[in-house]
Amino acid sequence: MPRNPPHAMNIASKTGLLLFTGNSHPDLARLVASRLGLELAPCSVRNDENAETKVDIDCSVRGQDVFIIQTGSKEVNTSIMELLIMMYACKTSCAESIVAVIPYLPYSKQSKMRKRGSIPAKLLASLLCKAGMTHLITMDLHAKEIQGFFDVPVDNLRASPFLLQYIQEQIPDYRNAVIVAKNPGSARRAQSLAERLRLGLAVIHGETKEAESDAIDGRHSPPPVVAQNTGLEWPSGRYWSADFGIGVPMLTAKEKPPINVVGDVGGRIAIIVDDIIDDVETFVACASMLKDRGAYKIYAMATHGLLSSDAPRLLEESTIDEIVVTNSVSHEVQKLQCHKIKTVDISVLISEAIRHFQHKHCQEEHQDEECEEDDHHDGRWLEVPQAVGRIARIRKITVNDEPLSDAEDDR
């Protein structure tokens, strides 16, 4: 990553705010910096020949409020290591506070226990806090409960106002549209958007394949009983009987209904909404069904457009007319492969969040300084008992090893 100009340090240090960025999305960082009237603080983030990440902070961060903009990217693990090392470098250099600005939080989709796996979102939260993060600014978390994984305050920004503005300004005849949730899990998000636009709501129900949570993983209780009243011998010589399963009801397997659209989309504009567009096969299947149900134009809209693998090609060949995502994740290469992708700029939201945080922090510091001055002046006169059993007298003391003035002595 190229180093920033040396005079950036002087411009940033005047406000007590330093803005750094890694290699995940430098364009977004430059937009945020320009809106704040700052320049990115000089630093170098690179990979050695052995693929190890190396970070050099080229300015003093002692006593400064440090903001590091680093979002999820295609090289997700590299982006995480860059962020961790940058935060740890600022922590060891005595930064006053370290705020991580992560518009798209990696591993946020893995926030629940699956089979005998783990919860990687909790692991990532622990790593970030351990590396020195004192505050997190993110956007549209996949699950709000992820905020509980962090031991520091979390600001979960919302991109919905920008998406609402795009619908109202860029979609002709949007009053004839209907908001579509591609599965019941995203119905709440779609309902919120539909209520703000005062539009109808449709939900696609049913699945074409078995969900991961429904797969047999050996934890079903009780286990299937093959034979009754039959003694089976373990290798150790102990015996067990299958009678223990008698009287305990067996679990009934779930049966997925055929995929269907709940709601009227005939002759209307269908807007499929979600928080992340990554695996686009579901979006493509939903769009085909909506087209069959009579929708004459179809939009896909989400906050984070990851668009991994061959997603651009699938979207280009699909019946979706337009894909709207924010620039929380870099997708310039994907836009070259699919002309249907449109980008909404959310840099103003991030810059305002940083500005408000810094302003609030400065106000708190100013109030603390005033309180310290008041305590300092009030402490110049102390009531000190001079002798046991006698009346306590007021003894005048000095301030900063200097005697009080004559006017203060007359007090």
Residues 6+ away with beta carbon under 8 Å from 118: none
CB-based contact 101:55 (threshold 8 Å): no
Residue 143: what pLDDT?
Answer: 92
**Per 3-state DSSP, what percentage of the chain is helix, strand, and coil (rounded to 5)?**
35, 20, 40
Residue 259: what pLDDT?
Answer: 79
Residue type, 62: R
pLDDT at 81 exceeding the cut of 60: yes
pLDDT at 410 exceeding the cut of 90: no
Residues 6+ away with beta carbon under 8 Å from 80: 106, 124, 127
* Distance in angstroms (rounded) separating the CA atoms of residues 132 and 108: 20
* Distance in angstroms (rounded) separating the CA atoms of residues 371 and 196: 45
CB-based contact 319:291 (threshold 8 Å): yes
7 or 303, higher pLDDT:
303
Cα–chain center distance at 198 = 28
Domains parsed from the chain with CATH numbers: 17-157 (3.40.50.2020), 160-207+259-344 (3.40.50.2020)
* Distance in angstroms (rounded) separating the CA atoms of residues 341 and 321: 9
Q: How confident is the model at residue 248 (pLDDT cuts 50, 70, 90)?
A: low
Residue 77: what pLDDT?
Answer: 94
pTM of the model: 0.78
Q: What is the mean pLDDT of residues 295-301?
A: 95
Sheet with 154-157: strands ordered across: 17-21, 65-69, 97-102, 135-139, 154-157
Q: What is the pLDDT of residues 87-144, one digit of tens each?
A: 999 999 999 999 999 999 999 999 998 888 899 999 999 999 999 999 999 999 999 9
Q: Which of 99, 78, 198 is nearest to 157 (CA)?
A: 99
Strand pairing partners for 341? 323
Residue 380: what pLDDT?
Answer: 41
Q: How confident is the model at residue 251 (pLDDT cuts 50, 70, 90)?
A: low
CB-based contact 81:106 (threshold 8 Å): no
| No. of helices (H) and no. of strands (E), the chain | 11, 18
* Distance in angstroms (rounded) separating the CA atoms of residues 261 and 287: 11
Q: What is the mean pLDDT of residues 252-264?
A: 79
395 or 39, higher pLDDT:
39
Residue 152: what pLDDT?
Answer: 96
Q: What is the pLDDT of residues 351-365, one digit of tens each?
A: 999 999 888 767 766
Q: How confident is the model at residue 392 (pLDDT cuts 50, 70, 90)?
A: very low
* Distance in angstroms (rounded) separating the CA atoms of residues 346 and 158: 10
- CA dihedral 121→125→126→128, nearest 10 degrees, is 140
The per-residue pLDDT of the chain, averaged, comes to: 81
Q: How confident is the model at residue 368 (pLDDT cuts 50, 70, 90)?
A: low
> Which tokens is 59 given?
């300015």
The distance in angstroms from the start CA to the end CA of the chain is 65
